[in-house]
Amino acid sequence: MGDFHLARLARLAHFAGLWRCLLMVFVGFVGFTSLDVALAMDTPLLLDKGWRFHQGDLPLSPAVGHEQTYLQMKAGYAGGPAGIDFDDSNWRTLDLPHDWAVEGPFDPSANMDQGYRPRGLAWYRRYLRVDAAQRGRHIELQFDGIASQAEIWFNGHLLHRSFSGYTANHLDLTPYLRFGDEINTIAVRVNAEAMEGWWYEGAGIYRHVWLSQTDALHLHTDGLHLTPMPTPTPLKNAPAKDRWRLPMAVSLANDGPAPASATLEVTLLDPTGRQVEQRRAELHVAAQSSLETALPIDVTAPQRWSVDHPQLYQVHLRLLRQGQVLEHRSWHTGFRTLKFDAQQGFFLNGLPLKIKGVCIHQDHAGVGVAVPQSIWAYRLKRLKAMGANAVRFAHNAPPPEALDLADQLGLMVMDENRHFGADPETLQQLRWLVRRDRHHPSVILWSLFNEEPLQGGETGYEIARRMTAAVKALDTTRPVTAAMNGGFFSDLNASHALDVIGLNYQHTDYDRLHAERPQTPLISTEDASAFMTRGVYAPSHDPDRIPADDEHAADWGLNHRASWTMLAERPFMAGGFAWTGFDYRGEPTPQSWPAVSSMFGIMDLAGFAKSAFYIRQAQWREDRPVLHIEPHWSWPGQAGQMIPVMVMSNAQRVVLRLNGQPIGTQHLDRPGVARFDVPYAPGLLEAVGYDHEHEVSRDAVETTGPGVSLALQADRPALAGDGQDAVPVTLWVRDAQGRAVPDAQTRVHIEVRGAGRSLGHGNGDPLSHEDEKGAHRSLFHGLAQVIVQSHFTTTPGEIEIEAQAEGLAPAVLKLPVKASRLGTDPAALLDHALPAAFAPEQDPPATRLTEWRTSPLTSRPPGPPQPLADQDMNTWGWGAPPMTRAASAQATWQQYRTRFTPRNDVADGRGVLAFAAIQGRAEVWLDGQWLGRKTDPAPQALTLPLPAGAVLRELRVVIQSDAGMAGGIIGAVQLLKAPTGPSVPP
């Protein structure tokens, strides 16, 4: 169990309850022996598997005639791919998270900032079976994020329009559910033409989808406010200080038709799992109403969360009724104090701490924005290893699992809202962000916006003031900031509505603003914007890429050394967020096509270090010696050429030697870069760092021979067999002595077999147009990365990755995959193991004919059945099976009519029309043609061949029953695939 698993547990804890707690709760307290039962009762289920996908738009409503148009305007009758019976049998099936933009080719005519990736529109559909035992419970469908705009239908009902790809959508399915064999249909139309940013945003359902299933009396999603607050209120028997209160403000709803009661229980556990406090209260909630209540928990002298010791407490909420757990939710949180001081900068837990942050977007090599949690763990750990203590998720809400990881790793977070506005939709997005994220100890700042042109005037102020108020109504424990790139010197501007002024690239104004606003804390929300390409150095003469020498920055920015120095030298600056931690697709400033990704990253798109990584490490890591030489020392044919050498170090003095001969010594007055010009000779270039007279650090680069073999190395030695765990695998070339050949650009064939799959690959080259999902990948300056993900497995397995290239010995890496314990392993709560009550439906369900018109009873047979006027909505009734009416002595005949367009799989003449039961004597007519009959009046099934034709069909059933007897369609009517048999021509 590595950190990754802690991260996974925390994520699952967030949604599903901690494993330890499940055991305690269900086995210990309630005495359940079957965890499966307990998990199935209240656990949110991951609904990522078994989606169908169609790239491109499809018309919603092909209706022409009156009746069809009329119906499609009705609740539950959406047409086309939004509807229930749409034929999606030839759509691609896939698992979420999914980003279709990263699968596509690059196109020079596509939007540059979106990485020259065409985006467009697409549809997703999924079927869902819901057990009848769920009737009366509250069922909610939750999308963590869909890029960019979306419309979501459930069983033909338009439930929601989503206006932002960064905001979750929580949809109550309860009123629309179908149970048992009647399958539910989810349909999502995604519009990724709509852009929200000037960076690569991906396309599709790129974050997880969950199904929450609770009692009708349930906690609102994000409905517990538990953020610990330092409190001045004296507590009984408490020492005079370090008192805290968790408000435990709970927001519940009872959707049911009757009043409901339950016991509410909140529990706080310390980082060792010891119970700190538990409180209970009885609740009574009227039918169809909500309740706000609170069970505050007071804590004295808790263990603190900090960047070095991120201590996390667990919070559990349970709803109980007669010993049964109705709902169980878990969160983690942490206790820490924050202070932004206008003179002295930032304090965490009362201690000064310079914020060493980076801005990041959310895409990664090979996967686009569909980044698995374990790859987030890899990315954030890379930042931590560099010495960063903070992250700004620019310029939008991050995926929830990234915040869980930040909590665990000890990374502080500037949590940013995407849109700037005081309109209801924007304010609701902001409120959602605060509600979702306020329990995270990592979050230290709420950010309202990034560089809004209105920021400098009255409108900017008026909007910002309303947004700040919306935040403060939900959380008063963090200051509100915004990333401003000007306008803060005017008489009235957005900064007047902020607690902390955030500055993007305003280094020339730090001192003036501090002088003019001496009471207001300042932070650099964005700085640097330095450019470099990994592995590119002056001697390689690559005009399309930018040398990694920290000499290149945007006109509005500074290089890494200078931008940090500006902050390090100013105690009043709380710190800053460098642009950016990683390269991201799009915004290929200062280049354009064929460059397709940015070059601002301290690391490349795969998380491989550029020299900036070591510059930042030298600047930021005070806890250990840092020393790193760049470039590599393999420059064939360049003997005698001057090679500029950089030694990144936090030592006081750096000494450089080539093949044992001294080259020079440099004193560093602050951590940074020592530079030497070295005439090239093959061999060993060595640097040694000294503090006073003591050697503290050492690094060397060596000339390598020609490549002889490929090599593969995984970031972690094994994967969990939960079908989610993913690991980056580095691919490189070795020389005869096993050393990495630094400039290899080899094209490699990659194959992934066994208990996992490749999710994609990349090499960090901002000009690469290679297919990120294909079987080949070229190394870029010696490196490439393949991301492999486990399959779900309940037995131990192995992923085998094989790399082959011409002229090199192949490499094979075998990665063990651990078994998942179905039903007892939190990871197995995922939809590989959906409880039977929510079994996923992979195949489109059979079409059920549920929309019928019913004629009045008549004394004479109507046959051949007369048409019903298309405009007549009223002389005939409406119904769905079971439908019966009793015949009178005068009127024994009745007629039923429906229309349908058969799906392809039953329209080829091999389909059948299956009536589960008809009561009375019946004749069946299709498109005015006689199809078959049933002569026995007793209830019986009737199955008739369905003639070929994928057009709109009209079906009529004429039923005659004896006076006083009931007649009608009393069971389901379905279009089924005939198992065998001849096709029936049209």
CB-CB contact of 719 with 790 (8 Å): yes
Which is closer to ligand GAL, CB of 492 or CB of 554?
554
* Least distance CB 361 / ligand GAL (angstroms): 8
Q: How far is the CB of 464 from ligand GAL (least distance, A)?
A: 17
d(CA 831, CA 877): 42
Q: Is 754 exposed, middle or buried (0-12, 13-18, 19+ CB in 10 A)?
A: middle
Amino acid, single-letter form, for residue 460: G
* Residue whose C-alpha is closest to residue 445's, from 468, 479, 469, 420: 479
Using the rule CB under 6 A, which residue among 201, 255, 327, 526 binds ligand GAL? 526
Query: At closest approach, how far in Å is the CB of 615 from ligand GAL?
Result: 18
CA dihedral 783, 789, 790, 791 (to 10 degrees): -140
Q: Please, what's the b/e burial string for 234-271 (b: 16 or more CB within 10 A of its CB; e: otherwise)? A: eeeeeeeeebbbbbbebbbbbbbeeebebebbbbbbbb
Q: For the beta carbon of residue 468, count every other beta carbon within 10 angstroms.
A: 21
Q: Give me the 307-336 binding string for ligand GAL, x by CB under 6 A, dash otherwise.
A: ------------------------------
- The SS3 assignment for 583 reads coil
Q: Of 479-508, which residues contact ligand GAL (CB under 6 A)?
A: 485, 504
Distance CA 478, CA 519 (A): 17
Q: What would the x/- binding string for ligand GAL be over residues 587 to 626, using CB under 6 A?
A: x---------------------------------------
* 831 interacts with ligand GAL by CB under 6 A: no
CB of 132 to ligand GAL, least distance (A): 51
Q: Which of 151, 201, 327, 451 is labelled catalytic?
A: 451
Least CB distance to ligand GAL at residue 600 (A): 6
CA distance 375 to 389: 19
User: Which residues lie below 8 Å from residue 743, measured CB to CB, with a gap of 6+?
Assistant: 535, 540, 632, 634, 781, 782
Question: CB of 429: closest distance to ligand GAL in angstroms?
Answer: 19
Minimal distance in Å, beta carbon 604 to ligand GAL?
16
CB-wise, 144 or 526, nearer to ligand GAL?
526
Q: Which is nearer to ligand GAL, 494 or 803 (CB)?
A: 494
Which of 579, 613, 633, 925 touches ligand GAL by CB under 6 A?
579
Quote the least distance from Cβ 34 to ligand GAL, whole Å: 51
Q: Among positive and negative, which fits the CA dihedral 599, 600, 602, 603?
A: negative
Helices (H), 813-966: none
The residue (of 47 and 553) whose beta carbon lies closer to ligand GAL is 553
Q: Shortest distance, CB of residue 200 to ligand GAL, whole angstroms?
A: 12
Q: Which is nearer to ligand GAL, 116 or 378 (CB)?
A: 116
In the complex, which residue's CB is closest to ligand GAL?
Answer: 529
451 noted as active-site residue: yes
The DSSP output letter for 829 is: G
3-state secondary structure 594-662: CCCECCCCCECCCCCECHHHHHHHHHHCCCCCCEEEECCCCCCCCCCCEEEEEEEECCCEEEEEECCEE
Local structure of residue 791 (DSSP, 8 states): P
Of 560 and 781, the one with the shorter C-beta distance to ligand GAL is: 560
CB of 548 to ligand GAL, least distance (A): 18
Q: Residues 72, 227, 450, 961: which binds ligand GAL (CB under 6 A)?
A: 450
Backbone angles phi, psi at 484, to 5 degrees: -105, 140
Q: Which two tokens stand for residue 114?
A: 């979106």
Find the shortest distance in angstroms from Cβ 552 to ligand GAL: 12
Q: Using an 8 Å Cβ cutoff, are 8 and 373 in contact?
A: yes
Residue (53 or 579) nearer to ligand GAL, CB: 579
CB of 587 vs ligand GAL, minimal distance in Å: 6
Whichever of 418 and 848 has its CB closer to ligand GAL, that residue is 418
Q: Of 448 and 827, which CB lies nearer to ligand GAL in the complex structure?
A: 448
Of the candidate residues 213, 529, 591, 617, the single one contacting ligand GAL (CB under 6 A): 529
Q: Is 516 a catalytic residue?
A: no
Q: Which of 30, 58, 121, 554 binds ligand GAL (CB under 6 A)?
A: 554
- What is the DSSP code (8-state) at residue 310? B
If the CB atoms of residues 380 and 394 are measured against ligand GAL, the closer one turns out to be 394
Identity at 212, one-letter amino acid code: S
User: Binders of ligand GAL among 353-412, rule CB under 6 A?
Assistant: 394
What is the Cα–Cα distance from 860 to 972, expressed in whole angstroms? 27
Q: What is the separation, in whole angstroms, between the first and last Cα of the chain?
A: 62
Q: Does 99 bind ligand GAL (CB under 6 A)?
A: no
Tell me how far apart the alpha carbons of residues 118 and 108 are, in angstroms, rounded to a whole number: 9
Nearer to ligand GAL, 451 or 825 (CB): 451
In angstroms, give the least distance from the CB of 563 to ligand GAL: 12
Of 394 and 701, CB closest to ligand GAL: 394
Nearer to ligand GAL, 587 or 825 (CB): 587
Nearest to 874 by CA among 857, 855, 891, 859: 855
- Alpha-carbon distance 351 to 304, whole Å? 12
Residues 6+ apart with CB under 8 A from 72: 61, 63, 78, 79
d(CA 550, CA 529) in angstroms, rounded, equals 11
Q: Say how many residues touch ligand GAL, by CB under 6 A.
A: 11
Options 201, 265, 526, 923, the catalytic residue: 526
Long-range contacts of 61-68 (CB under 8 A, 24+ apart): 65/870, 66/870, 66/871, 67/870, 67/871, 67/873, 67/899, 68/899, 68/952
- Chain position carrying tokens 């900036």: 612
Q: Does 451 engage in binding with ligand GAL (CB under 6 A)?
A: yes
Binding residues (CB under 6 A) for ligand GAL: these are 198, 394, 450-451, 485, 504, 526, 529, 554, 579, 587
- The residues carrying an active-site annotation are 451, 526
